[in-house]
Amino acid sequence: MTTERRRMTGREIVIGLVVLIPVFVIAYLGAGALNLPIPQWGISAIAALVGILIWFAIIGRLGGKK
């Protein structure tokens, strides 16, 4: 099984920003509002990872169309 490497298109980068920025901001503000014992940056990092996974799932679907 080979995977083809290619550069990200502008559309994929924009989709990533549209997904990541709201997820990061909501998690950061939510962590501050909940006063959890975990630092806000830790929860934001986890949220960013989740956002990246969502982003790659969306790109995979977009990139898979031929």
Compute how many other C-beta atoms are within 10 angstroms of the C-beta atom of residue 31.
19
- pTM of the complete model: 0.55
Contact present, 23 and 51 (Cβ < 8 Å): yes
Residue 1 pLDDT class (50, 70, 90 cuts):
very low
Q: Average pLDDT of 41-66?
A: 73
Compute how many other C-beta atoms are within 10 angstroms of the C-beta atom of residue 66.
3
Q: What is the mean pLDDT of the chain?
A: 75
Number of domains in the chain: 1
Residue 48 lies in a domain: yes
Residue 16 lies in a domain: no
Domain that holds residue 33: 24-59
Tens of pLDDT, residues 26-47: 877 877 787 778 777 787 788 8
Q: Can you list the alpha helix ranges (DSSP code H) found in 1-66?
A: 10-34, 40-64
Residue 65 lies in a domain: no
Residue 17 lies in a domain: no
Residue 7 lies in a domain: no
Residue 9 lies in a domain: no
